[in-house]
Structure formats: C-alpha cells, structure tokens
Structure 1
Amino acid sequence: MATRRFPLVNFSEDEGSVYVEALVPGVDPKDVDLSVLRNTLTISGERKPFAEVKGVIHRSELGSGRFTRTLELPVDIDPNNITAQCKDGMMQIKLAKAEHAKPRKIDIKLS
C-alpha cells in the first residue's frame, strides 16, 4: 500500500478545530495509530488480508499491509485535545487548534 494514497481523506476547519475524515474500510480501529506534531497529523496502521488465499490469485486490488498517511494541516494543533471515532469504515478525527493558532479579536483604540 505504500505507493497508494491510503487512507483517502477530507479535511476542513472552523474557528476552533480541524476535522479529518479518513476512509479506512476493512481496517480494525485497534490497528490504527494517530500522532500529531504541531501541524502534522500522521495516520498509520495495518490492513490485514480479508481472507486466506487458496489456489491461484488472478487479481488482487483490495490491498493489505502497513500504511502511513501524513497530512500537513493549515494550523498548529493542541495535542491534548484530539478525539477520534470510527464507524462503518469512516474514521472521524477532531483536532482542536492550538491557542496561538486561533483567531483573536483586536480592539482598536480611538485616539
């Protein structure tokens, strides 16, 4: 799987968080590791073969083995405020922005 972009992802953001959706069909969430360093999210793990192969393989497109996907996010992330859940092969990750990366309102003083 090293040559393919796996897992496929979407990500978006609002004022306080970055949201990542990762498509991980056939992957047990226990076999996935998430790590964050500043503005970089790494999703790694292993997709195990679906069944033991008997006989001759004529085509193998499902892919199995170790994978790593590194995403550069638009802002620094608070590594202590991340949640992830997985349902039906879709992993949803919510990453809170680091305080210094959040927009701040600046009051303008009249002179």
Structure 2
Amino acid sequence: MNVSIWDPFREMEALLNTYTMPARRKSTAEDNESVETGDWAPVVDILETDNEFVLKVELPGVEKDDVQVGIDNRILTIKGEKKGDDKDKKVHRNECRYGTFIRTFTLPQDVDVDKVEAACKNGVLSLTLTKMEQAKPKQIEVKVN
C-alpha cells in the first residue's frame, strides 16, 4: 500500500496555471485587424543613446532557429517558441514558461529600418536600431558679441 501526502497547494497551483496561461489565439483589435498573442511574453529592456536604440530581450532556453524578427510598416515583431523537453517525465514543479511568444513595438520615426542588427548571446537577444543621421542631436555654439 502506497501512502501519499495530500498537498492542497499543489492542486491550487495547478488550477491557477490552467486559468492564467492563455492559449495561443488571435484576438480582434479595435480597428478590426487580427492581433496574435502567445503563451507567454519575454521581458524586454529598451535603452537609448545619441546614435541608437537597443532592445534586450530575455529568451533563455530558446534556440536561435526558433526566433523570428521582422519589421513591417514601422512595427518591429519578435516571435518564436520555447520548446519543453518534459514529454515522458513526471513533472513535480513547472515554473518555466514554454510555448509560443510574440512581442511587437512601434518604431520611432528617427529609426533607420534598413540598419537594424540582431545578435544573441547567453539567452539575450540584442537588437540595435540605428537612428537616422538627421535625427541625432546637434549642438549649436552660441557666440557672444
């Protein structure tokens, strides 16, 4: 006879996970365009210098081939999938997010969409968005007579 200890918190966690993880779906925006959502959303830092914007997207455990980055009509889209490997295993705790993700950002007018660079290192995707030459701040010397 096996004796197991009942853990009500485990059941509550499973119930909450069921209702807080949205399924991949397309929802409708106000302008009747379809908006794609994912199972989770990676966190993003956006930094700015005089010459560029840098987006740092945390994607631990996501393979390079499972990520797509694109720009369409000044909308930057990052989407992909984090695949789990727990198919034939008994899961005791599942805190990591798996499944599809998508993030979109509207680019400022001063970004040169032809000069976007992407690099991935240690699970962080870095996107460098170069500003156009005329958009860079310019110092004007004031002469005193």
Which of 61, 70, 81 is the equivalent residue of 1:35? 70
- State the aligned residue count: 107
After TM superposition, give the deviation of residue 20 of structure 1 in Å.
Answer: 0.5
Contact 1:38–1:76 (CA<8 Å) still a contact in 2? Answer: no
Q: Which amino acid letter does the alignment assign opposite residue 45 of structure 1?
A: G
Deviations 1:54-97 (A, max 9, x none): 25544433222221011234444222111111111111110112
- Mind listing any 5+ residue stretches in structure 2 that lack a counterpart? 1-20, 22-37
Q: CA RMSD in A?
A: 2.8
Q: Which has the higher strand share?
A: 1
SS in 1 for 2:94: coil
Which of 98, 101, 106 is the equivalent residue of 1:72? 106
TM-score, normalisation: structure 2: 0.59
TM-score, normalisation: structure 1: 0.74
- Mind listing any 5+ residue stretches in structure 1 that lack a counterpart? none
Contact 2:39–2:99 (CA<8 Å) still a contact in 1? Answer: no
SS in 1 for 2:103: strand
Matches within 5 A, 1:79-94: 79-94=113-128
SS in 1 for 2:116: strand
Which of 131, 139, 144 is the equivalent residue of 1:97? 131
The alignment-based identity, stated in percent, is 35
With over 3 angstroms needed to count, the CA separation of the structure-2 counterparts of 1:85 and 1:105, relative to structure 1, is: same
Q: Which has the higher helix share?
A: 2
Higher relative contact order (CA 8 A, sep 6+): 1
Contact 1:32–1:43 (CA<8 Å) still a contact in 2? Answer: yes
